[in-house]
Structure 1
């Protein structure tokens, strides 16, 4: 199990059945801008062979790549962003969520929490492209986002985005920038059909969806339709 340890600026690896973590990226307790440091790391994802891990470095506005057998203090590789906070296609703006499934697509998908957009980016390219949301414009229509965080894609390249401050989950079909709401309904609440500041998203092998409903202190399961 790999854990992004936000306040310690590191990624911890726990071998199966062990309670002792090993720092595999970052320097414990040291944040910064060097290639072996993080400043507010959020999500991580892996390539299909789990040779590399890709990590959102939130306050450095970049995506970093490390070998999964890395050790603390090793330099990572910058693969997206790193040009300061911004809303141009060569920048990221507080990247939060990330998902990479190279068996399905060459693109890495990234949510810009403070840019209110979804981008796709080929790792190592000098720029990416916006595929949902309008840079630096928040809103609640089907074409806008408000602080997107968690993200997943399926084998059909449908993209599922946790639209945190809209209290909903949006699905974007391939080549469409118009979202379809599949959970939540803009208005925050604690009923079975509402969410309140959701952040994380996961699917099981049957494609049932699980949402970390942050302000309701719960995990909500939505069965596959």
Structure 2
């Protein structure tokens, strides 16, 4: 975004470029007067006041100033566009589309490790409009961004060992990114949701005291939905709230979840081997959309972790312990394998405990191949559409 562009539903908010990279920006309230701001300290443009960031603000001064991150709160500046839903093709994906049998590795290589070209036990991912891949690199306690075609990732959050400081994470499980590049992380073992502004060195806790947060999603109003695996529930949260609204309960090991444009809630229930849709009027009433019995048949699932739903109502499921990705058209009694399903393994046509999936704008499929410590891309073929 350009300097001072409107970045929020609140008209008093605008975009300020950070000092280290003009391509990085934060969305803040511009209500502060220039006299309330102090200059960044030379020679490294540091801000010594807690929770401040060094930015360009030419309407005030011709030198960088420290801006309080409290003015970037989403309660003040709710986003114009949120990160949910992660499925990109706006018209859905036609029923006759297929994906390449062999995947291409787009993140992670040479097995597990802590170097930035490696991953260690990755869980969730997010694919942006430029095909950059953000990975919750869980056992490395970090979030890594892989630009399209890169041979190594960029550290964007955590990476300073397991811990609960604001610059640390502890087994993060999921990640989403909004239109400003702000990252939201399900920091599982720290029982919190963290917000990291683009280019920031530390994060900020926006939701805390969740027993076992796993999946995180955001609706068009900027509200967050978080699955709690141990409690077997999903709650809807506003940033800074001390209690979330219970929207689904009595679940059997909820992993990742999906919120569609109508704010319908879909959950992958690991312990019940199924994918459900939560009833709009009751947190305990569900429709079973896929699976429901344990097995490797095309009408079965085995400990699924993730689900995405497109505009046509088609489900895409990470059928984790069957080492495959399944596609279930609306109302179908069974699904089709679109990736993996050739036994556990590390070949390009195999997966090992896939944890999460996403799509890019073209409909190419991305899969977190947990056991192989990599992210695989399966190219879409629409020639029969």
TM norm structure 2: 0.50
Superposed CA deviations along residues 169-218 of structure 1, whole A, max 9, x for unmatched, are 00110111311100001510111110011101111111111100001011
Superposed CA deviations along residues 55-97 of structure 1, whole A, max 9, x for unmatched, are 1100000001101xx22x611111001xxxxxxxxx3100001
Q: List runs of 5+ in structure 2 lacking aligned partners.
A: 1-182
* Greater mean alpha carbon deviation, residues 177-186 or residues 157-166: 177-186
Q: Is the 8 A contact 2:275 2:307 kept in 1?
A: no
**Secondary structure of the equivalent of 1:157?**
coil
C-alpha distance in structure 2 between counterparts of 1:5 and 1:125, whole Å: 28
Q: Is the 8 A contact 1:48 1:101 kept in 2?
A: no
Q: Is the 8 A contact 2:358 2:366 kept in 1?
A: yes
1:64 is matched with 235
C-alpha distance in structure 2 between counterparts of 1:77 and 1:199, whole Å: 26
- 1:156 offset after TM fit, Å? 1.5
Pair 1:78-2:250 in alignment? no
Distance 1:139-1:213 versus aligned 2 partners, 3 A rule: same
1:143 is matched with 299
Alignment root-mean-square deviation, CA: 1.4
Q: Is the 8 A contact 1:80 1:123 kept in 2?
A: no
Distance 1:47-1:123 versus aligned 2 partners, 3 A rule: farther
- 1:123 offset after TM fit, Å? 5.1
C-alpha distance in structure 2 between counterparts of 1:101 and 1:48, whole Å: 9
1:88 is matched with none
1:14 is matched with 196
2:254 is matched with 95
1:47 is matched with 219
Superposed CA deviations along residues 8-63 of structure 1, whole A, max 9, x for unmatched, are 0000011122121111111xxxxxxxxxx3222111111123x2110110000000
Q: Is the 8 A contact 2:318 2:324 kept in 1?
A: yes
**Displaced runs of 4 or more, over 2 A:** none
One of 38, 49, 62 as aligned partner of 2:210: 38
Give runs of aligned pairs for residues 88-167 of structure 1, distance below 5 A: 91-103=250-262, 106-122=263-279, 125-126=282-283, 127-134=285-292, 137-167=293-323
C-alpha distance in structure 1 between counterparts of 2:281 and 2:190, whole Å: 27
C-alpha distance in structure 1 between counterparts of 2:247 and 2:340, whole Å: 33
Pair 1:208-2:360 in alignment? no
Distance 1:14-1:223 versus aligned 2 partners, 3 A rule: same
C-alpha distance in structure 2 between counterparts of 1:154 and 1:60, whole Å: 28
Aligned length: 198
C-alpha distance in structure 1 between counterparts of 2:322 and 2:379, whole Å: 21
Q: Is the 8 A contact 1:97 1:150 kept in 2?
A: yes
